Structure 1
Amino acid sequence: MKKITLIASLLLLISLSLTSCEADGIDPVYYINNNNNPGPVNNNPPGGDNDDDDDPVASEGDYFPMALNNEWDFIYTGDFDEDPAPMKIIGTEVIGGVTYYKINHYFQESGTDDLTGEADIHLRKNGGTYYERVSVDIPAANGLPSITIAPYEIIVLKDNLEVGESWTQTVTQTTTYGMSGFPPVTMTLNFKGTIMQKDLTVTVEGETFTDVIKEKMVQTIMGADYTTYIWFAKNVGPIKSESTGEGLSYQMALTSYIIN
């Protein structure tokens, strides 16, 4: 099993992702491996005003190409000690009748001394909306109980919105601890994504990208905000990101990529 860090930032997207561990060893956002996971998760509460349903409106392009062996390699600066392995699409999986692309990690991955487990992360696109489906399985180890976080989906981009337009999403995350008599813990996560700019030309690590969308994603957990700006280039995918929140600050920049 690979080691994973429980991260509170979406980017994690952003994840992101995907920041600081909570007192009980659970991070507000990360992922869990479960081959019996259901398909697309509808996180809209009854009467809610979330904008997280499938979007049939035509996409304006491919801002996160999904194909087997697509790969993005980033350099990180800020509050991380080392760069993770390249982000890579490693397979496909049909869940609940919907095809997902399985990715090895989403923007950030590093080790901890005490927690080792499998992250299960899948991507899909419908119309102009891109989704990340996340879940985590951490087996009992080093005197700590097992931890599982039930699967849910996060919108990571809507490429067909105009500059200044936004969407909101409320997600219920359920965490189960492998301790007798300890009930599952439910947490509400709130997201707001906004399209800041479109049709940009951006240079990252010496390469110039055109037709770039800049997005702002704010993730609110227990009253704390985590903000990430992400730049997506057409036919390439994410090219850079800047994340801050609750004492965390880091940046990532694309150094190389393979698009099939």
Structure 2
Amino acid sequence: MKKIVLALAFVSALFVTSCSSDDSNSVSYGESTGNYWPMAVNNTWIFGSDIGNSELKIIGSTAINGTTYYEISDQADNVFGVQNWVAKKGATYLQKIADSSINQEGITMNMQGYEIPIFKDDLEANASWNGNLSSKITYSFNGQTTSTTAKIKYTGTILEKNSTVVLNGITYPNVIKTKTIVEMKILEQTVIIDLQYWFAKDVGPIWENTSYNGSTQERALINHILH
């Protein structure tokens, strides 16, 4: 579930940059219709894929501006070790990345934290949300530091609502299927990332698919432990 954050960090690294952002859109959080991602420390989801199993776990919590954010660790997304949180405000589920610094092949990239709405459980099928991030990017190489600006646009859509899904022999009712397209423009280059997530009521994330640069990664829930 770290895919949104990691994907942006990974794309930034490919372009010899790092990403910081300032969301220019105001957010209407809505009124919750249920708990589609139970958040408590030690909640764990085990996923299976064609490359093996991976664990998504809530490992801690912190208060940010009066809201409890839960830190998540995802074995499938630990390339950069970027600290990552999730939270819920009203009907809106949020993903927040911490300020971080990445060193890759002698290039130091500084990334300022930002936040993206993952989905909203009060929306009906075919409803959408969107936002724009204006990103100041700085990087250092051979003693020189320079900066540029990245533009990130995201559009999310509720594909299905109240679906029933069978995964690995387990039936999940009350499933919300979502899709988010993230478009990043850096130095006249554009990268598009396609993210699809399924969330089951009172269970959490049960399936995800990430498509980027011609490759696709998919995994489905095998088991989960909630506290």
TM-score (norm 2): 0.85
Report whether the alignment pairs 1:43 with 2:23. yes
Note the 1:63-142 alignment, pairs <5 A: 63-77=36-50, 83-84=53-54, 86-105=55-74, 108-111=76-79, 118-135=81-98, 137-138=100-101, 140=103
In the alignment, the residues of structure 1 paired with residue 195 and residue 23 of structure 2 have an alpha-carbon distance, to the nearest angstrom, of 22
Report whether the alignment pairs 1:158 with 2:149. no
Note the 1:1-260 alignment, pairs <5 A: 12-13=3-4, 15=5, 17=7, 21-24=13-16, 26=17, 43-44=23-24, 50=25, 52-55=26-29, 57-77=30-50, 83-84=53-54, 86-105=55-74, 108-111=76-79, 118-135=81-98, 137-138=100-101, 140=103, 144-179=106-141, 180-222=143-185, 223-260=190-227
Q: Residue 218 of structure 1 contacts residue 226 of structure 1 at CA under 8 Å; is this kept in 2? A: yes
Distance 1:65 1:22, change over 3 A: same
Q: CA deviation at 1:120?
A: 1.0
Q: CA deviation at 1:99?
A: 2.1
In the alignment, the residues of structure 1 paired with residue 163 and residue 129 of structure 2 have an alpha-carbon distance, to the nearest angstrom, of 21
Q: CA deviation at 1:11?
A: 5.5
Q: Residue 118 of structure 1 contacts residue 138 of structure 1 at CA under 8 Å; is this kept in 2? A: no
SS across alignment from 2:106: coil
Distance 1:11 1:196, change over 3 A: farther
In the alignment, the residues of structure 2 paired with residue 16 and residue 206 of structure 1 have an alpha-carbon distance, to the nearest angstrom, of 30
Between Structure 1 and Structure 2, which shows a larger proportion of helix residues? 2
Q: Hey, what does 1:7 align to over in structure 2?
A: none
SS across alignment from 2:76: coil
Counterpart code for 1:64: W
Question: CA offsets per residue over residues 78-112 of structure 1, 9 Å max, x none?
Answer: xxx5544x11111111223432111123x73255x
In the alignment, the residues of structure 1 paired with residue 200 and residue 102 of structure 2 have an alpha-carbon distance, to the nearest angstrom, of 38
Q: Percent identity?
A: 29
Gaps spanning 5+ residues in structure 2: where? Answer: none
Gaps spanning 5+ residues in structure 1: where? Answer: 1-9, 32-40, 45-49, 112-116
TM-score (norm 1): 0.75
In the alignment, the residues of structure 2 paired with residue 174 and residue 255 of structure 1 have an alpha-carbon distance, to the nearest angstrom, of 39
Q: CA deviation at 1:137?
A: 2.9
Distance 1:138 1:255, change over 3 A: same
In the alignment, the residues of structure 1 paired with residue 56 and residue 34 of structure 2 have an alpha-carbon distance, to the nearest angstrom, of 21
SS across alignment from 1:43: coil
In the alignment, the residues of structure 1 paired with residue 156 and residue 103 of structure 2 have an alpha-carbon distance, to the nearest angstrom, of 35
In the alignment, the residues of structure 1 paired with residue 83 and residue 28 of structure 2 have an alpha-carbon distance, to the nearest angstrom, of 21
RMSD over aligned CA atoms reads 2.6
Counterpart code for 2:113: P
